[in-house]
Structure 1
C-alpha cells in the first residue's frame, strides 16, 4: 500500500509545494496553523484540487494535472477523520458508521457496523446520537466511520484537538493500536509535536507550504535539517553560530564556545539544545559547562521551566537567556544550591543546522 503525493497549489500568501510518499507506516504532517497541512489532506481526498502535480494511491492515479485526471472523492477509497469529526447529528452511532457503506447488502452492512462498534469499544451505545456522546466517543465514531468503507488510505486531520488532556492521552494510545492493524497508508496531521512523535513512524515538517524536513520521526527530531524544523520539533534554545574548528563552534547569542562530537561544516548557521536535555554537574572542567543564574521559574505540575542567564566567556558578563526543563524533584534540589549553577550540554545532544 503506497501513497505518492507530488503537488503544487497557490494559497493565500504562499504556495503549497509538496513531494512525499508513504506506505504502511503512519506518516505525520507536523506544522504550525496555516502551514498547509489540512489543505494537503483535502487535496489527497479530492475535496480540493491542486493546481499542478500528481497523486497516486497503490498505482491508481487519483489526480494528474497533465493527463486531466481528477477522481471524485467517492472513487478514491480514502477514509477521512475531520478535525471536528463531522458526524451527522440526526443519525445514531450505527447509522453514522454505516453511512458510507450503503451499497452493500443489509446483512453485510450490519456485520461491518458491529465489527466497527466492537473495535472502538462502544457496545451498547449504538442507538445514541452524537449529542449524547462525549468528545472521545464522538472521535471514535468518526474513526470507525472512516474505516468502515475499508479504505486504502486513512487521513486524520488534528483528530485530538477538541479533547482535554486526559482524553487525548487515552485516544492517542487507542489510535496507535488501531493504526497498527490498518493495512493501508495513513497520514496524521497535527501541530502537536508530542502526538506526532507518539503516533507516527515517519514525519514531514511543513512551514508555509514547504517541506522543511522529512524522514524517520526519531531521526528528524534528533537532527532537524533547518531552523524551522528545529523550532517545530520543540527546540527552545537556538542561537546563531559560527564555525571555529572541525569540532568547535561559537554560539553567538549565548557568547560561549561549544565542542561537538561530529565534524562541522564551515557553513554552520545555528546551534540548538532541547530544554530537557541540559544537565547539572559539579565538574567545571568538562567541555560545554555553562555558568548560569536563575531569572525566573515557571512551575507546572509535572515540569518546571527555568529561564537562565548564561555567563559569557568574559568573566562576570551575563548574556542571553536559555530555558531549562526539569522535574519538580530536581527543582526542589536546585533552588537551594548556590548560584551560578554549573550546567552541562552533552555534545551528543547539540542540534547543528
Structure 2
C-alpha cells in the first residue's frame, strides 16, 4: 500500500476523522470548502499533527500516536503543492527550485527541471514578476527536484482565472505524466476530479463518506453527499411502497424502479440533463409539472418545475440549440424521470 491514512484531529467546528488508502495512480479528495481536505494533507505532510492515528507512506511510518512517532516535515519526503504555491518571495526562480534539492549535482538538477517546466528564460525573475501559471510551474519544479515519495496537490487551480486555469490544467496534465509516484489531488471541483483522478474519496465534515472509482461516483453515487458533490441537483426523500416502487415525498410523485430495492435508502436522485421532456403523460414515471422559473444560460435552458403539492422543485436542463418550444412560466410541462437514470442514496 503506497499510502495509508487513519487519523483523528479536533478542528474548530468538526472532528476530522478520516481513513483511506492509496495503492497507485491519482486519488482525488472531493469535498466542499472547509470539510477538512487541506487539513488532511497538512497532517500527511507533517505541518499539522493529528490527535491520534497512523500515517504510513511506502511502508515508512510518518506518524503513529501509539508509538510516539511523528517525523518532521523535512524527513517525510512529501511533495506538497499549496493553493498559493508558497514560493519564497525573496528568491528568484532558480533559487526557489534549488531550495528543494538535496542532490550533490544541484546545477544538473536545476538545468533539467528548468527545461522540463519551460523556465529557462525565467530563472532570474522573482515570484512577483511571474504569472499564476508560471508560479505554479516553478512550485512544481521545486517539488519534482526534491524527488518526493508522493505528490499532493491542494486545489491547484483555485488561484487562477478561468482562461488561465484551462491553459495551466492542460500543462499540468502533461507534467504529471512525468511523475512515476502516487498523487493526492484535492479539489472542490468535480470536473477537475473527473479529468485527473482514478479513484475518489468524498469528504464531508471531516469524514470520508464515499470511496469509489470516479466512474461509479458520477454514474451511480451511493450517498446523498456524494451525489451533491458529483453535481446532481435533484434529490428527494423517499418512502418505500414495495420493492419496485417508492414515493418521492419532496417531489410528490410515485416512481417505479427497474430493479428491486436492495438495502435501506433515504433519498433518490436524478440529474437535470437526464430528465426527458414529453408531449403528454405517456409511459412509466411521466408526470405533469408546472414551470416556476426559466433560467437561460449561454448554451442551455434550465426549467425549475414543481409537481402538484410538491414541496421541492426539480431542475431540468437541456441544450439551447435543440429547444424550439415556447414554454413560459406557469405553463404545464410533461417530464419523464426514467427509472434507468434514478439512483437510490443513503443519508
Per the TM superposition, whether the score is higher than 0.5 is yes
Match of 1:131 among 128, 132, 145: 128
Where 2:96 maps in the other structure, the secondary structure is helix
Where 1:151 maps in the other structure, the secondary structure is coil
Which residue is 1:326 aligned to? 318
Question: Are residue 111 (structure 1) and residue 108 (structure 2) matched?
Answer: yes
Matched residue count: 344
Which residue is 2:222 aligned to? 225
Q: Shift of residue 270 of structure 1?
A: 0.5
How far apart in 2 are the matches of 1:45 and 1:14? 21
Where 2:122 maps in the other structure, the secondary structure is coil
Match of 1:198 among 195, 199, 209: 195
How far apart in 2 are the matches of 1:302 and 1:84? 32
Where 2:50 maps in the other structure, the secondary structure is coil
Question: Are residue 285 (structure 1) and residue 282 (structure 2) matched?
Answer: yes
Match of 1:177 among 174, 178, 185: 174
Q: Shift of residue 62 of structure 1?
A: 0.6
Question: Are residue 152 (structure 1) and residue 152 (structure 2) matched?
Answer: no
Which residue is 1:162 aligned to? 159
How far apart in 2 are the matches of 1:246 and 1:268? 12
How far apart in 1 are the matches of 2:42 and 2:130? 27
Q: Shift of residue 252 of structure 1?
A: 0.6
Q: Shift of residue 226 of structure 1?
A: 1.9
The answer on whether the counterparts of 1:212 and 1:225 sit within 8 Å (CA) in structure 2 is no
CA offsets, 1:183-217, max 9 Å, x none?
Answer: 11211111111111111111111111111111111
Match of 1:256 among 253, 257, 281: 253
How far apart in 2 are the matches of 1:82 and 1:266? 41
Q: Shift of residue 20 of structure 1?
A: 0.5
How far apart in 2 are the matches of 1:266 and 1:142? 47
Find runs of 4+ consecutive structure 1 residues off by over 4 angstroms. Answer: 336-339
The answer on whether the counterparts of 2:252 and 2:310 sit within 8 Å (CA) in structure 1 is no
Question: Are residue 297 (structure 1) and residue 294 (structure 2) matched?
Answer: yes
CA-atom RMSD in angstroms: 2.0
Where 2:134 maps in the other structure, the secondary structure is helix
How far apart in 2 are the matches of 1:131 and 1:302? 37
The answer on whether the counterparts of 1:39 and 1:48 sit within 8 Å (CA) in structure 2 is yes
The answer on whether the counterparts of 1:243 and 1:267 sit within 8 Å (CA) in structure 2 is no
The answer on whether the counterparts of 1:243 and 1:265 sit within 8 Å (CA) in structure 2 is no
- Between stretches 260-269 and 333-342, larger displacement belongs to 333-342
Q: Shift of residue 267 of structure 1?
A: 2.9
How far apart in 2 are the matches of 1:301 and 1:177? 30
Change (3 A) 1:14 1:345: same
The answer on whether the counterparts of 1:7 and 1:19 sit within 8 Å (CA) in structure 2 is yes
Q: Shift of residue 179 of structure 1?
A: 2.4
Where 2:153 maps in the other structure, the secondary structure is strand
TM-score, normalising length: structure 1: 0.91
- Between stretches 187-196 and 338-347, larger displacement belongs to 338-347
Change (3 A) 1:283 1:144: farther
Structure 2 gap segments, 5+ residues each: none
How far apart in 2 are the matches of 1:52 and 1:287? 52
Structure 1 gap segments, 5+ residues each: none
Question: Are residue 30 (structure 1) and residue 30 (structure 2) matched?
Answer: yes
Q: Shift of residue 24 of structure 1?
A: 2.5
Change (3 A) 1:322 1:39: same
Change (3 A) 1:305 1:117: farther
Change (3 A) 1:41 1:121: same
- Between stretches 259-268 and 227-236, larger displacement belongs to 259-268
TM-score, normalising length: structure 2: 0.93
Where 1:34 maps in the other structure, the secondary structure is coil
